Structure 1
Amino acid sequence: FTGLWTAYYVNQLDPHRSIAILESEFVGFGASGRNGGWVSALFPAYFTALARATSRDAARRMHQAMVTNISDLGRVASTHNWKIDWAHGGTVIAARSDLQNERALADVREFVDWGFPEDLSYLTAKQAQNRINATDVVGGTFTPHCAAIDPYKLVQELSAFLHARGIAIYEGTRVLSIEPGKAQTPSATVHATDIIRATEGYTKTLRGEKRSFAPVYSLMVATEPLSANVCAEIGLGERETFSDYRNLVIYGQRTADNRIAFGGRGAPYHFNSRISADQDTNESVHTELRATLTQMFPVLKNATFTHAWGGPLGIARDWWASCKYDPTTGIGSSGGYVGDGLGTAHLGGRTLAHLITETESELTTLPWVNHHSRKWEPEPLRWLGANLGLQVMQRADSHEERTGKTSRSAAYLARMLGH
């Protein structure tokens, strides 16, 4: 989405500028067409990490921008009458053990401490179950700041709009490298005043960028369309996106056609940042996702799971997303979204457009603008570190379920990541 939104907003600000998009496969091939459909206010670096690197005020402004960004994206879609299955129902995160409930309460306290008490509310067990009727719910949290959409429908609507505006999208055109003023493809050199790298989890395929982001796979499954009775049993009546407070990330939504689309981490990082189509599916992880969802909602035990897929997302070494533009070279980028990219890519594209066109705005002063993350370690250290972190979180959930005690290793890893 980053490239599409950058093109959209540059065109809005400077309609006479010539714009072209070079796409290696087809529009929506990457995370834009495969994600869980959360337009959220989540930013990979948390309040404390942002404030530590910048200031408390900057951290607050980043959060406020992410919140406003949701309505901004929705307004664009509404203005153009795009059919993207938009439902601004918020996010409910269930606490399904006493330890998870402690995390929920800690999250609420953090938002109060940062001056945003209205942005995250604690839910009692009954209140949480009224929104998400999962098993073992003892509490939870709710934020109004998330919309569920069909991301591929947004890809189609946005790309069609750009095409109608005369913006060329060259599919099947892989870029091998970029440098000031030009992008090299296998068959030609494309010259441009400004070049935006919008490659996220596929950034390692560009010359010299292998250690910029770690491509980590997130996988998803989806059920058949569910009956009204099954949907009523599950809840999510306002199409709230949902998760719980376990250590290993899960995420889901009830789609407009009443499927449950559900995903999570669990797939390993592949040595040397390898990306390939065969890694888009992992039967053991997909089996675990189906089991996890059925355990949360036993009413799904007889439901058919019709789809399973996955793809790489991009993670910077310090867990920051960044939006960068150098006016002396004309090269810019936005990425490192860590799975929070559906909304953040919109903010990134809009911000890049302001930077490119020298439009003064609050967006260009946000702390992620021109933030530089250090490179990932060379192999095998990158492989060892990434997969060790995954194993820590997997074992932490097992340990906590078995003992009822917090995993010290998971808590330590979270502190290291600034969470």
Structure 2
Amino acid sequence: MGDTAMENGKRGYWLNQADIEWPDVDGVENDEECDVAIVGGGLTGLWTAWALKTADPKLSVHVYEAESFGYGASGRNGGWLSAKTVGIRSQLAKGPGGRHAVMEVDDQLRSGIDEIVDLLGRERINARKGGWLQVARSDSEQARIEHYVEKSRSWGVAEKDLRLLSATEAEEHVRISHTTGAIYSQHGYTVDPARMMCELMMLAISAGVVLRAPARASEIGPGQLRVGRHTIRARWIVVATEGYTARERGQRRAMLPLNSSLLVTEPLTPREWESIGWGGHAGASGSAHTYFYARPTVDRRIALGGRGKPYQFASSFDPSGKLDEGTVQALLKVVHDLFPEIAAKPAHAWSGILGVHRDWSPTIAVDENAKILRVGGYAGSGVTAAYLAGKIAADIVLDRRTSLSRSPWVRQLPAKWEPEPLRWLGANALYAIYGVADGVEARRGGAKTSSLALLADKLARRG
């Protein structure tokens, strides 16, 4: 273990790796014209651009990124490439395709993870296929995971795709203290988000996509947008700004920029690494109401994320990504609680924002008259979802009548979030209620979920 000071904020552990050779991109120096202008240089924007150029190489496709490619959640996330359900199934099933369409999306996500790894290169993005677990550590959590699996069966999810593990079986994947059982799915990789972004940039460039950064878009309207003092004209505009959508004029309440905080430890010693039994590189998350998600890195670190301070007033956010000391210590406490036998020290900490619609489900909204497509709202499950959304968006722009263009994600934008101060009060109060509910369940014991958590689910429209 070293004694160097923890690096807090900036761009996070992944993006600060010195050995990644990022392709050179330039900003906008003149007015430009293209067939499709994509606003947002994250995974969604790049996958959409690649899908368009692959389907029709004659199209001119430009991607405009405000900061640097990977600056947002796409380069700062926890590196879970999984087929976990994105959004609320019952909400998405209200569309014309019903339950069958939602189940079809689940199949597309399962095949999507392997397609992504094949396209970008397993070793080039440090992909390790260990699946994912959701671990229970109390009777109430155990009851919740059992109910989740039972409910998943009603949505056509087979045991080969999702199953319950005993405590002993769960510990074959990772030895987390007080484990009572777990949900397990084989459909998951851990990846390096920055290397993934770099490879996707190169894939897009090789397909003929034009990448622009820094190139902050403003005044997005029918057929054109502004980048600084320059005008960009396009037949179609795709807006893929996720949590940063609130910066756009008139969009402050469309998407909630929810904070997510991450911590990466210093490398574990060989003995510590052996003791936690995480060599299979499965992603792991918890079943408490205030959840965690974690994964090992290829150099034997632990990367763990949680909410921290969930939301700032008026949809604002700190671009520095710096965590307050309380959040750093809270995340470190979770690491030590999960793995009490190791003396993990924090090496990197940072935060980022993700985009959440009011109904907690992804949306690909089409304005046929303006020829503007708005894509996003993955609520923290965007690494695989962005690939699928990009293919869907491409089929819509190309006017293809396919199963993708009929996806339940293709729908009108949901209702807006509440105005301030209700938005700030609600988002932060809900997180506090979930924390209290965890405490109630821990003190009371038993298999029953706290009524406080059920109330919070109802208020959040997640139930």
Unaligned segments of structure 2, at least 5 residues: 1-42
SS in 1 for 2:341: helix
Q: Cα deviations across residues 162-204 of structure 1 (Å, max 9, x unaligned)?
A: 2344422211111122111101122211111111111001001
Any conservation in 2 of the 1:84–1:149 contact (CA below 8 Å)? yes
Which is further off, 308-317 or 65-74?
65-74
- Residue 462 of structure 2 aligns with an amino acid whose one-letter code is G
SS in 1 for 2:258: strand
SS in 2 for 1:386: helix
Equivalent-residue separation in structure 2 for 1:188 and 1:323 (angstroms)? 27
Task: Name 1:391's counterpart in structure 2.
Answer: 432
Any conservation in 2 of the 1:38–1:149 contact (CA below 8 Å)? yes
Equivalent-residue separation in structure 2 for 1:69 and 1:304 (angstroms)? 35
**Does 1:182 pair with 2:224?**
yes
- Residue 120 of structure 2 aligns with an amino acid whose one-letter code is A
- Residue 442 of structure 2 aligns with an amino acid whose one-letter code is E
Which one of the candidate residues 341, 348, 365 is aligned to 1:324? 365
Any conservation in 2 of the 1:82–1:154 contact (CA below 8 Å)? no
Task: Name 1:379's counterpart in structure 2.
Answer: 420
Task: Name 1:418's counterpart in structure 2.
Answer: 462
Which one of the candidate residues 182, 188, 195 is aligned to 1:146? 188
* Number of residue pairs aligned between Structure 1 and Structure 2: 416
Query: In the TM superposition, what is the alpha-carbon distance from 1:109 to its structure 2 partner?
Result: 0.8
Equivalent-residue separation in structure 1 for 2:375 and 2:427 (angstroms)? 22
Query: In the TM superposition, what is the alpha-carbon distance from 1:281 to its structure 2 partner?
Result: 1.7
Any conservation in 2 of the 1:324–1:352 contact (CA below 8 Å)? no
Any conservation in 2 of the 1:322–1:370 contact (CA below 8 Å)? yes
Task: Name 2:31's counterpart in structure 1.
Answer: none
Which is further off, 47-56 or 120-129?
47-56
SS in 1 for 2:217: coil
- Residue 324 of structure 1 aligns with an amino acid whose one-letter code is A
Task: Name 1:19's counterpart in structure 2.
Answer: 61
Which is further off, 189-198 or 50-59?
50-59
Equivalent-residue separation in structure 2 for 1:97 and 1:324 (angstroms)? 41
- Residue 220 of structure 1 aligns with an amino acid whose one-letter code is L
**Does 1:30 pair with 2:72?**
yes
Equivalent-residue separation in structure 2 for 1:322 and 1:330 (angstroms)? 16
Which one of the candidate residues 318, 343, 357 is aligned to 1:276? 318
Equivalent-residue separation in structure 1 for 2:310 and 2:183 (angstroms)? 29
Any conservation in 2 of the 1:43–1:344 contact (CA below 8 Å)? no
Query: In the TM superposition, what is the alpha-carbon distance from 1:26 to its structure 2 partner?
Result: 0.3
Task: Name 1:364's counterpart in structure 2.
Answer: 405
**Does 1:93 pair with 2:137?**
no
Task: Name 1:77's counterpart in structure 2.
Answer: 120
Equivalent-residue separation in structure 2 for 1:43 and 1:188 (angstroms)? 40
| Structure 1 moving runs of 4+ over 6 Å | none
- Residue 391 of structure 1 aligns with an amino acid whose one-letter code is A
Query: In the TM superposition, what is the alpha-carbon distance from 1:53 to its structure 2 partner?
Result: 5.2
**Does 1:257 pair with 2:285?**
no
- Residue 418 of structure 1 aligns with an amino acid whose one-letter code is R
1:289–1:180 CA distance, 2 compared to 1 (3 A): same
Task: Name 1:235's counterpart in structure 2.
Answer: 277
- Residue 211 of structure 1 aligns with an amino acid whose one-letter code is R
Task: Name 1:108's counterpart in structure 2.
Answer: 149
1:82–1:166 CA distance, 2 compared to 1 (3 A): farther
**Does 1:351 pair with 2:392?**
yes
Task: Name 2:38's counterpart in structure 1.
Answer: none
Q: Cα deviations across residues 102-126 of structure 1 (Å, max 9, x unaligned)?
A: 1111111112222213221111111
Equivalent-residue separation in structure 2 for 1:380 and 1:133 (angstroms)? 43
Any conservation in 2 of the 1:43–1:321 contact (CA below 8 Å)? no
Equivalent-residue separation in structure 1 for 2:95 and 2:326 (angstroms)? 39
Equivalent-residue separation in structure 2 for 1:51 and 1:14 (angstroms)? 31
Task: Name 2:445's counterpart in structure 1.
Answer: 404
Equivalent-residue separation in structure 2 for 1:22 and 1:343 (angstroms)? 21
Task: Name 1:336's counterpart in structure 2.
Answer: 377
Any conservation in 1 of the 2:261–2:305 contact (CA below 8 Å)? yes
- Residue 192 of structure 1 aligns with an amino acid whose one-letter code is A
Unaligned segments of structure 1, at least 5 residues: none
Query: In the TM superposition, what is the alpha-carbon distance from 1:228 to its structure 2 partner?
Result: 3.1
Any conservation in 1 of the 2:87–2:378 contact (CA below 8 Å)? no
Any conservation in 2 of the 1:87–1:148 contact (CA below 8 Å)? yes
Which one of the candidate residues 86, 103, 112 is aligned to 1:60? 103
SS in 2 for 1:299: coil
SS in 1 for 2:405: helix
Identical positions, percent: 34
